[in-house]
A and B are shown apart, each in its own frame.
Chain A
């Protein structure tokens, strides 16, 4: 018996520990806090690194700079700076993808995915068109956004109640809603018969060098930023995505938070659907499924972690801008269409790799 005891009592038996007097009232942390505006700025910049937004903004700035220089040197071959191009790309295609990236990104931060985004855009678009042809456009707007939210919440409940990985659940629902929109609309494109001028201006109005979509992106972006980074509910999304057990231990309900994230996702999807159909005056069901992966790609490029818990609104928007801008550059340079697919594919892999490396470095 003494053998087994002696092996585990190699440490000397210590006397009961006497509490150190808190001579440690040194306030080392408080004294080391930056005091001047400049040092505070430097500190904030320091803690921004490794979260995606800063890095991707630098990459984006370099790309834009390169495009600008090329365009200035040869305006005819690469008309990047022409006002029609800027108004078309920057203010039409980027905002729609940015809204989708914000939706997908917030959901991703909570630790979930929704692969039915493209199908949901198709369904909400069809709902909008069919209602707007017979009723006032605000009703159509509310119903379209509402239907997208409903689809997302159904997905959310399926994921929360069954704990099926959201990849699988929403992949299944993606087929379902594509089928549903073809069922209610048929395979012919749905068309807005007589788009009202006021409605067109609200969603896609032409303000010369920019379009109304840009204002939607800026407005929603600011709201999303304040919600995600400054509101307690936004904080809970990070907590649940980062460590659901820790969140539960402080009485945050992970499932409610996940459902809220699905709801926000649905709202963004519905809004993007309306912006898309008003711009094109129509919608062909079943043609929007690409947008799902574009949105996820934009969010990942912008620094959202596939594992949840990380991501910023600025990153999501810049991620969307980067994808659309490079796509635009390839089109202007008259590159064949498959180059764009090559590029998007590579971007996702490279961005995900960089994210992983950054996570490793800061944690």
Chain B
């Protein structure tokens, strides 16, 4: 009996699917990093992607954001297959990936980071910096409200980890991205910044934005995610809605894989 048969992973949101991967396999030479992984992210759904180091989370994220091609498998967006999954294509679809620290340029201002690659310009290509600064100020005030920020003209390099994450999120929100992939966003954050970040995700959800939270911190994921996907050695072993699982079961799955889940269920059968 495979995991997927045990817990069919249907999107918990009722509004339908946004991203669907079917039978995705990724090989690096002789190594199979991802083995026949299928998953769905619903519209406005917050999905947690859990797993120990080496489980294949990062590779999966890179495939979803179009940075790395898959060896085989299919990629569907809103029910339609995407023929060629490249970064420009996923960007056009509205996928935004926030990596731990590589999404921003430290030597540029907050405004220039938010509008990087999508500058507001006149016909000749010259930037309208005043307008961009004003929008940034507005977005930082209303969407994410970062504490301790002085000006949109601050260099991103002068911000703390949490503030920089918030800038990434502000950027994703302002450009109305439809799927936000956060790769280990909380690992460098202080407690309060983490709380704020998780709050942003819920806020995004209210605005209909889906997010995929990649983390090994179960407690962060459990708080905000509607559904949890657990990876183990390149395979998906668990895909459950929050109401059908517990931190204990997820921990067992992450730490001990499928066997852990089975033993957990024998020991403490779910109601």
Q: Which of A171-179, A238-246, A340-348 contacts B (4 or more CB under 8 A)?
A: A238-246
Contact with B along A10-36 (1 / 0, CB 8 A): 010110110110101111111011000
Q: Cβ of B149 < 8 Å from any Cβ of A?
A: yes
Contact A9-B247, Cβ < 8 Å, known A24-B145, A243-B106: yes
A5-B224 Cα distance, complex, nearest whole Å: 21
Given A30-B141, A250-B118, check contact A8 B223 (CB 8 Å).
Answer: no
**B67, B107, B116 interface centre (most CB from chain A within 10 Å):** B107
Task: Kindly identify which residue among A13, A33, A310, A362 contacts B247, using a CB–CB cutoff of 8 Å.
Answer: A13
Contact of B248 among A9, A50, A305 (CB under 8 A): A9
B161 to chain A, nearest CB (A): 13
Q: A1-B260, A4-B256 are in contact. Are A363 and B222 (CB under 8 A)?
A: no
Could you name 21 residue pairs across A and B whose Cβ atoms are closer than 8 Å?
Answer: A1-B256, A11-B219, A13-B246, A13-B247, A14-B219, A14-B223, A16-B242, A32-B150, A43-B153, A47-B109, A47-B151, A47-B153, A230-B126, A232-B127, A236-B116, A239-B116, A241-B107, A248-B87, A251-B87, A362-B155, A362-B157
Over the window 97-123 of chain B, the binary record of Cβ atoms lying under 8 Å from chain A Cβ atoms (1 yes, 0 no) is 101001111111100100011110100
| B:200-227 near A, CB below 8 Å | 202-203, 206, 218-219, 222-224
Whether A8 contacts B202 in the complex (CB less than 8 A), given A29-B151, A232-B125, comes out as no
Please state if B116 and A29 are interface contacts (CB–CB under 8 Å): no
Is A247 a contact partner of B224 (Cβ separation < 8 A)? no
Using A28-B141, A230-B126, A310-B107 as known contacts, say yes or no to A16 and B223 having CB atoms under 8 A apart. Answer: yes
Please measure, in the bound complex, the distance between the C-alpha atom of A359 and the C-alpha atom of B125, giving whole angstroms.
Answer: 29
Whether a CB of chain B sits under 8 angstroms from the CB of A249 is yes
Q: For A23, give the chain B residue with the smallest CB separation.
A: B145
| Residue B154 interfacial (CB < 8 Å) | yes
Smallest CB–CB gap between B66 and chain A, Å? 10
Check B91 for interface membership: any CB of A closer than 8 A: yes
Let me know if A243 and B102 touch, CB within 8 A: yes
A236 and B108 alpha carbons, distance in the complex (Å): 11
Residues of B within 8 A of A (CB): 65, 67, 87-88, 91, 97, 99, 102-109, 112, 116-119, 121, 124-127, 129, 137-138, 140-142, 145, 149-155, 157-158, 198-199, 202-203, 206, 218-219, 222-224, 242, 246-248, 251-252, 255-256, 260, 263-264, 267
Q: What is the CA–CA distance of A245 and B119 in the complex, to the nearest angstrom?
A: 18
Q: From residue B213, how far is it (CB to closest CB) to chain A in Å?
A: 12
Residue pair A29, B137 in contact (C-beta under 8 Å): yes
Contact B102 A245, beta carbon cutoff 8 Å: yes
Instruction: List chain B residues, Cβ under 8 A from A235.
Output: 108, 112, 116, 119, 127
A103 in the interface (beta carbon within 8 A): no
Bound CA–CA A233/B140 (angstroms): 25
Verify if A356 is at the interface (C-beta below 8 Å from B).
no
| A-chain residues with CB within 8 Å of residue B116 when the two chains form the complex | 235-236, 239, 246-247, 250, 252
**Is A226 close to B, CB under 8 A?**
yes
Given A226-B126, A235-B119: A5 touches B155 (CB 8 Å cut-off): no
Is A309 an interface residue when CB atoms closer than 8 A count as contact? yes
Q: CB-CB < 8 A to B129: which residues of A?
A: 230
Produce 1/0 per residue, A352-363, CB < 8 A to B.
000000010011
Tell me, in angstroms, the Cα distance from A26 to B99 when the chains sit together.
29
Contacts of B104 in A (CB 8 A): 243, 246
Q: Does B151 lie within 8 Å of A1, measured CB to CB?
A: no
Contacts of B124 in A (CB 8 A): 231
B203's nearest neighbour on chain A, judged by CB, is A19
Q: How far does the alpha carbon of A338 sit from the alpha carbon of B126 in the complex, in Å?
A: 45
A243 to B106, CA, bound (A): 8
**Contact present for A239 and B203 (CB under 8 Å):** no
Chain A: CB-nearest residue to B148: A28
Q: Which chain B residues border A8 with CB–CB below 8 Å? A: 218, 251, 255
Chain B residues, CB < 8 A from A363: 106-107, 155, 157-158
Looking at the assembled complex, report how far the CB atom of A29 sits from the nearest CB atom of chain B, in whole angstroms: 5
Contacting pair B203 A47 (CB below 8 A): no
Q: Closest Cβ of chain A: how far from B208's Cβ, in Å?
A: 14
- State the CA gap A33–B111 with chains docked (Å): 14
The answer to whether B107 and A251 have CB atoms under 8 Å apart is no
Query: Is A246 a contact of B107 with CB atoms below 8 Å?
Result: no
Q: How far is the CB of A363 from chain B (nearest CB, A)?
A: 3
Q: Rank and list the top 5 A-B pairs by shortest CB-CB distance, nearest first.
A: A363-B157, A250-B117, A242-B105, A309-B107, A24-B145
Distance in angstroms between the alpha carbons of A242 and B101 in the assembled complex: 13
Q: Chain A's nearest CB lies how many Å from the CB of B159?
A: 9
With A29-B141, A238-B105, A238-B108 as contacts: A251 and B88 at CB distance below 8 Å: yes
Distance between Cα atoms of A363 and B223 in the complex (Å):
32
Give the residue of A33, A251, A362 whose beta carbon is less than 8 angstroms from that of B151.
A33
Say yes or no: A251 contacts B121, CB within 8 Å: no
Bound: A28/B151 CA distance, A: 10
Kindly list chain B residues whose C-beta atoms are within 8 Å of the C-beta of A310: 107
A242 near B223: Cβ-Cβ < 8 Å: no
Which of B99, B153, B224, B255 is the one whose CB lies under 8 Å from A17? B224
Pick from A11, A28, A50, A250: contact of B145, CB under 8 Å: A28
**A5 and B88 contact, Cβ closer than 8 Å, known pairs A33-B137, A243-B102, A250-B118:** no
Least CB distance, B21 to chain A, in whole angstroms:
20
Select B117's contact among A24, A26, A239, beta carbons within 8 Å: A239
